[in-house]
Structures are given as structure tokens and as C-alpha cells.
Structure 1
Amino acid sequence: MREPTADAGGSDYAYCETLLRRDDPDRWLASLFAPEQKRRHIHALYAFSLEIARAREIVSEPLLGEIRFQWWRDALETPTRMDVGANPVAAALFDTIERFSLPKQALLELIDARLFDLYDDPMETVEQLEAYARATSSSLFRLVPLILDPDEPADGLGAAEHGGIAYALTGVLRALPWHSARGQAYVPLDILQKHGADRTDLAAGQSSPGALAALADLRGLARRHLDIFAERIPGLPDASRAGFLVLSLCEPYLSQMEKRGYDPFKTVVALPQWRRQWILWRASKRWG
């Protein structure tokens, strides 16, 4: 790891934190439990992920999204040929990559997986959804510990993989109202078909018995991955555990989806900030 110089790229990192605090407040809140000198580098990594994840909201057609993704690929593969300094997220990310020797391949795979977001293709199987989650979510849980504890690998027991899948599945379930409204379907077809439902139920926002049963299956899958993660927390180095704290919010979100009156196509699954802070604080004491 290269030793950081004082306040290098401060405005770029400040931009990343502002972006994260506004658009991904759960990860921002969780980052407050990381050592102060490491936080801005975590913000840079999360801001990059956010930039890729929100491409569909920014562009008017998929091809423009692919062009944005290609810019990031080129920047990661040949940064000296690209003007990364003009993009504050890229500037902070590349400074972080250099300081902590982060593997770029994981970031390239994240970009490739996010191509799915640009189109309305179905998620065919559970295996496809889990592979998407590994590339987009688990990869972040693998990289953050390299910032928090560069000298000791954190994922020897697969905690990042299972935690990342649980986090992604919870996010997919929370985002169902927005995804269905714009014709996207992250709920795998094989789960829907198992219960006699299909994509039209989701596109129409119909809480049919089959659709509800499929969503219950997906919550169960998220919890199974959470359980495996919980079994592997003791194998995590102490210094890296702050990078996993955001996972403590998954179970409360999943529980909200099982309350009376929950409509998967209309109910906004959210928690007040004070409660999220309390959950994260409790997790920091349990896991620390």
C-alpha cells in the first residue's frame, strides 16, 4: 500500500461523499463506523458503484449507457490515456486503487454485470441472479476490507460472497416498485414459474398469490445467505468488520416486507435514520 499524502484530491473525495450521502445513505451511514482516515476511500469505491448502477436513470437509451460503461472500462484498463482527473469519482477511485493496490478485474466485472440493468431482459434463473449479485455486490464486500485491513485478507471463509448476495437480493426486493414500473424484472423466471406466476404479474403490479409466493421465496433465499454470512463473521479480521456492517440492515428490511398491509408494488420499504444508526451501532458492538 502506498502511503497517502495529506489531503490529496480532497475535493474529489468530498464529491464522492456528497453523492453517497444523497443517493446511498445506508452505505454512507455504515461507513461512519470505519476509521476516519479510511472513510473517503470507501466513499470513492461506493461512489463508483453508484455511478455504474444509476446509468439507466441518466441515459435516454441503452446504447448511451454502454458508451458510459466503455469509458469506465477504458479508464480502468489504460488510465494514462484517459482524462480521469476531469471526473471526480474517477479521480478519487484511481487514487484509491493506487494507494491500496485494489484489483481492477473486480471493477471490470461489476461493469459487465451492470449491462443487464440497461435492458429489459428477464432474469432467467436463481443462479443467474446470484451471479449478478456476486459481481455487483459481493465484489464491494471483498474490496472494502482491502482498504480497511490491507495486510490481512478478509474473505477466506466466503463471508463477502454470501453477504453480498443477501444485500443484493434485499435491494432487489426493496426496488420492486421502481423496477416493475419501468418493465424490469429481477425476480427470476424459474421462481415465478414454480408458483404459477410470470413477468406479466410483475409488470402489471399485480399481487397475485403466485407472485407473492415467489417474493417470499426470494426473501427466504436472502435470509439463507445472511445466515451463512453470520456463521462466518468470527472468521473475519477485526479491522475489516466495519466493511460488513451495512448487512445488519437487511433483516429489518426483510421483516418490513412481511408486515400486514405490505404491498410489494406500492409499499416503500424504509427505516428512519435514527433506527438505522441504532441497528448499525448494535452490529458494531456484536461484530467487533
Structure 2
Amino acid sequence: MPASSHGQALSPAGESARRNDPDRFLAALAAPAARREHLFAVLAFEHEIARTREVVSDAMLGQIRLQWWDDAVAALADGGRPPVADPMPALADAVAAGGVTVAALLAMVEGRRQDLEEAPPETLEDLEAYARATGGAVGRALAEALGHEGPAAEPAIAVGTGWALAGILRALPYHARRNEVLLPTAALDAAGLTAHDIAGGRGGAALAAIVRDVAGAAEARFAAARAMRPARGLLPALLPARLARVHLARLARAGHDPFAPALRRPDGLRAARIGWGAWTGRWW
């Protein structure tokens, strides 16, 4: 079994986070040991619910799958025995220890219901709302796992929102090949662009302008989080912003062309960037 950087074998939730969410897994390693497993549980849960659209054949089956997770989480509020399916045991431990609230986990499920809607976001504001409902909800749960609730969690929610927006841009080539483009439809329609055009590399300057706007919205969320002067204890939930901002900078240098060859090269300094941020407290 793989081991963490602290020399201990990873739990099932930790292994899921390492395999499926490596960037936020690295950030979670910066958390105190008593909090780390709660972060892993949140990340493993996010992976399970976020992949719903990809593992079902239609929206109804997706709703059924999400409702199963919703019911399983809701049962934790009464101290019920969780299903044996991972990561429910880890989530049950996190809830029982006061590490994360059932409400935060239910909000994560609710946000993912939007993935099953046929109509993508119409405006940039709609896209930001989607990013807050999904990535922001994860940020809230991570903040709670670190002991920060309510207003104290807002910086992590903002970072989670920015992370989701940056992730949409990073995944744009992949989604376009699947005929799924999660960009504001009003802007796409105004530019006369379709998913087929984008997948074929025919977006040009019009696509770059739309991508620039989404990237700017992501940067604005990171700036908002910084302006809130977040507590040092939130650092593991904020560190992913370092990696997202590196990608956004590379995207800008590529003229906001999401298909630029330079963007396909992996960032070999990911672990170093997270480690430096954890040591210095600089997450932006």
C-alpha cells in the first residue's frame, strides 16, 4: 500500500485522494495529522459524486446515484451506521469527530446535480454560480475539516470556486472532444462557436476572449480570498490556488488558447510549489 509523505500507509480515502485528486491531496498533507484524514474523506467523496455524469447513461440514473449518496450522508446526522462503500466510513468518522458537517456534505451533492442538467450556464455569472456550488462547496467542507465554519470558511469557498473555474479551462479540450463545453452559452452563441468548432481547433480569437473572461473570474476569486486575510489554519484548503494560478499564467502566455501545446506539458514542480507554500504560508 502506498505511503504518505509522513511515512504512514494511506487509508482508503487517502489513497483515493492521492490517485484521483493529486493536487489537493498534496495540499492536504500540509494539515495537522488529526485533521488530515477528514480532508482525505472530503476529497474521496468529491471524486465519487463528481464522476456521476461519466458513469451513468442518462440523467435519471445520475439523479438516482446522487440520491443514494444524499441519503447515505443524511443518515449520518442521526449517528446511523454508514454504508460500507468507501468513503462513507471515513466520512462518518469525520462527522462524528466534528470535523465536517452533514450540511456541508449535502451541499456538495446538491451542487453536483447541476452536472446532470442539459442546459449549460448561459452567462459568466451563471458559470461562477456553478463553480461556487461545486468547487466552492468542496472548499466549505475542507474548511470545516480544518476547524473553520461560517464566515471563517469563506476564503476556502472563494478558492474552491476559483479552482473550479480554472479546472473548467484546463479540461476544456477533453470536454470539447466529448461535445461538452462548459462555457457561457451566450458568449459562444454571440461568437458563432459550437463544441464541434472548439474541438476542431477553430475557436480562434473569439474563444480566447471567452477563456480570458473565465480566467479573470478565477483570478478574482483568488484575490477575494486573499483580501479576506484567511486564518493560517485554512492553508491546506488554500494551497491549490498556487497550482491553479500557475496554470492560468501559462494560459495567458499562450494567448488564452486552451489547446496550446505548451499547456499539455505537465508541471513538474507541483509538489515543490505546494511544499514551499506550506512552509512559507504563501498560498497565492
TM-score (norm 2): 0.84
What residue is the counterpart of 1:40 in the other structure?
37
Letter of the 2:187 counterpart: I
Aligned partners of 2:172, 2:54: CA distance in 1, in Å?
15
SS in 1 for 2:83: helix
Q: CA deviation at 1:120?
A: 4.4
- Contact 1:191/1:217, CA 8 A, preserved across alignment: no
What residue is the counterpart of 2:277 in the other structure?
283
What residue is the counterpart of 1:94 in the other structure?
92
Q: CA deviation at 1:45?
A: 0.7
Q: CA deviation at 1:243?
A: 2.0
Aligned partners of 1:134, 1:262: CA distance in 2, in Å?
23
What residue is the counterpart of 2:120 in the other structure?
122
Q: CA deviation at 1:203?
A: 5.2
Letter of the 2:197 counterpart: D
> Are residue 52 (structure 1) and residue 49 (structure 2) matched?
yes
Aligned partners of 1:203, 1:260: CA distance in 2, in Å?
17
- Contact 1:253/1:270, CA 8 A, preserved across alignment: no
What residue is the counterpart of 2:209 in the other structure?
213
- Contact 1:120/1:185, CA 8 A, preserved across alignment: no
Aligned partners of 1:210, 1:198: CA distance in 2, in Å?
12
> Are residue 250 (structure 1) and residue 248 (structure 2) matched?
no
Give 5+ residue unaligned stretches, structure 1: 1-9
What residue is the counterpart of 1:165 in the other structure?
161
Q: 1:237 to 1:154 in 2, by over 3 A?
A: farther
What residue is the counterpart of 1:7 in the other structure?
none
Deviations 1:42-79 (A, max 9, x none): 00011101111112222233322221101011112234
Q: CA deviation at 1:263?
A: 4.9
SS in 1 for 2:145: helix
Matches within 5 A, 1:187-226: 187-193=183-189, 195=191, 197-202=193-198, 204-226=200-222
Residue 58 of structure 2, aligned match among 58, 61, 66: 61
Give 5+ residue unaligned stretches, structure 2: 1-7
Which has the higher mean CA deviation after the structures are superposed, 99-108 or 75-84? 75-84
Matches within 5 A, 1:26-37: 26-37=23-34
Q: 1:248 to 1:84 in 2, by over 3 A?
A: same
Aligned partners of 1:157, 1:97: CA distance in 2, in Å?
17
Q: CA deviation at 1:202?
A: 3.1
Aligned partners of 2:244, 2:123: CA distance in 1, in Å?
22
Aligned partners of 1:190, 1:250: CA distance in 2, in Å?
25
Aligned partners of 2:265, 2:242: CA distance in 1, in Å?
14
- Contact 2:162/2:221, CA 8 A, preserved across alignment: yes
Deviations 1:6-56 (A, max 9, x none): xxxx99x71111111111110111111111222111000111011111122
Aligned partners of 2:145, 2:117: CA distance in 1, in Å?
33
What residue is the counterpart of 1:3 in the other structure?
none
Q: CA deviation at 1:166?
A: 0.9
Q: CA deviation at 1:199?
A: 4.6
Q: CA deviation at 1:259?
A: 3.4
Aligned partners of 1:262, 1:21: CA distance in 2, in Å?
29
Residues matched between the structures, number: 273
What residue is the counterpart of 2:4 in the other structure?
none
Q: CA deviation at 1:176?
A: 0.5
- Contact 2:140/2:154, CA 8 A, preserved across alignment: no
TM-score (norm 1): 0.83
Q: CA RMSD in A?
A: 2.8
Aligned partners of 1:158, 1:123: CA distance in 2, in Å?
23
- Contact 1:114/1:136, CA 8 A, preserved across alignment: yes
